[in-house]
Structure 1
């Protein structure tokens, strides 16, 4: 039993708690799950309904009714057979929304996660918190399996890698300039040359369209790497869409400039920036829930485009 649990006052203004205001039993069950004697900081634990009924004073019927309201509000998931509950955002409240990779709590969370009994929510928990807590080993599909050789990258880590890549490209540009024009050139001319060689993704895509070439060449090394790694062409396409949307639609990344955009995309695939897939213990690469969701959206877009094209052809 935990000595204490955190319940932030601001939670009452959250979307989920607002939805539960209409259902008093739901509010009681929600607070009970957050502070239950059976709970843990992960929010993933065994919680028999009979205990819930007795300790809340709701009785079995009231406890089941309140639990159902919590499930419908998206507060938690519950499995009758294993009697396990997963309070979806509890770990972010009890631990932190996100930890740095050097935080020792990451190892503790991984250890606690690995020690949990089998239940249906192990894989979903991993997918939800792998990036936030730098988890490296997932469970929940044909027993335990190892995640990627590198932990999921947080946004901060991705930005650090991007900065390193920028420095490398600057160094390459400076070296090239010195070899062509000599080391006597002034810094101002060097920086001007470097700036002209780099571009935003929007500019790069426009240049490719004008030249009639693919942004990612068919013979690019990342295609062979992905094939060797078991990453399908469809997965690579979804990864490219996620990559393109980040650097052409997200205001945080719009101004990013690189000399070699295909190489930057290759890094995003190798380091799984978007957490679109995972590798099982048998070496099979499968979609994560995030990847599957993106795939469904992309398939829907393709279907819509195809339908519009058929209408246009029919009316031509």
Structure 2
């Protein structure tokens, strides 16, 4: 539990303005930013049963109120919630509680890294890492090596060492001599894959509306069970091609 929390008055013109008229959502927002489970980085475990009990107690409809309020907060783009791991991410909380950006030598860098490292690697924590990777210099923290590997896709082949330039040249030479040569179709697929990987670091442009966003997600092949989660990121301009590919693999049962 944090000893203190800072809530700037500007929240009434930003987050809470989006929630006007919805008392349940405002209560959830206040709990997310000041509750006993919250952290300064804004991403932490929060089972729905805790959220319901700590706001509404044992009153009838507590769980329903918590679920409704949280859904509104998510739809407003204020937070994301992973139901499988029960982890919440209040998007701008790290910026207000820590800083919009940190210098490499700031002690807060290691503090942020330790809090993130205590969480499991999943789509929501990986999105947080991707967002603050450079702003907070997290890629230089050894404790977050697994997050870096997951972001770069290295976890798909953890036992495969990086190839040296010499080995790559030898392989190119072998291919040129006909050893293990690729068909024209294979070459085309490999080139396309390389192009897609080059674009992984750039997010898709956010859509103008929820309807446009859903249409786009269906077009790029986001599996139905991930549409809502993808839409939340897409509306904030934080949806990356690698997210879509990861969900496609997961939907096919690929580990």
TM-score (norm: length of structure 2): 0.56
> What corresponds to 2:200 in structure 1?
287
> What corresponds to 2:27 in structure 1?
28
Task: Work out whether residues 126 and 147 of structure 2, in 8 Å CA contact, stay in contact via their aligned partners in 1.
Answer: no
Q: Spell out the pairing of 1:76-95 with structure 2 (5 A cutoff).
A: 76-95=79-98
Distance 1:81 1:235, change over 3 A: closer
Task: Work out whether residues 110 and 137 of structure 1, in 8 Å CA contact, stay in contact via their aligned partners in 2.
Answer: no
Task: Work out whether residues 46 and 83 of structure 1, in 8 Å CA contact, stay in contact via their aligned partners in 2.
Answer: yes
Separation (CA, whole Å) in 2 of partners of 1:56 and 1:101: 38
Q: Spell out the pairing of 1:105-120 with structure 2 (5 A cutoff).
A: 105-120=108-123
Q: Spell out the pairing of 1:38-57 with structure 2 (5 A cutoff).
A: 38-57=37-56
Structure 1, residues 158-211: CA drift from partner, whole Å, max 9, x if none? Answer: xxxxxxxxxxxxxxxxxxxxxxxxxxxxxxxxxxxxxxxxxxxxxxxxxxxxxx
Separation (CA, whole Å) in 1 of partners of 2:34 and 2:193: 41
Secondary structure at 2:80's aligned position in 1?
strand
Separation (CA, whole Å) in 2 of partners of 1:233 and 1:293: 21
The runs of 5 or more residues in structure 2 that have no matched partner are 153-164, 170-189, 208-215, 217-255
1:117 Cα deviation (Å)?
Answer: 3.1
> What corresponds to 1:132 in structure 2?
135
Task: Work out whether residues 42 and 91 of structure 1, in 8 Å CA contact, stay in contact via their aligned partners in 2.
Answer: yes
Separation (CA, whole Å) in 1 of partners of 2:5 and 2:194: 42
Bigger Rg over Cα: 1
Structure 1, residues 10-53: CA drift from partner, whole Å, max 9, x if none? Answer: 11111x32111131111110110001111111111111111111
Secondary structure at 2:6's aligned position in 1?
coil
Separation (CA, whole Å) in 1 of partners of 2:95 and 2:193: 29
Secondary structure at 1:121's aligned position in 2?
helix
Secondary structure at 1:99's aligned position in 2?
coil
> What corresponds to 2:9 in structure 1?
9
TM-score (norm: length of structure 1): 0.46
Secondary structure at 1:45's aligned position in 2?
strand
> What corresponds to 1:68 in structure 2?
71
Higher relative contact order (CA 8 A, sep 6+): 2
Separation (CA, whole Å) in 2 of partners of 1:10 and 1:292: 28
Q: Spell out the pairing of 1:97-246 with structure 2 (5 A cutoff).
A: 97-136=100-139, 144-146=147-149
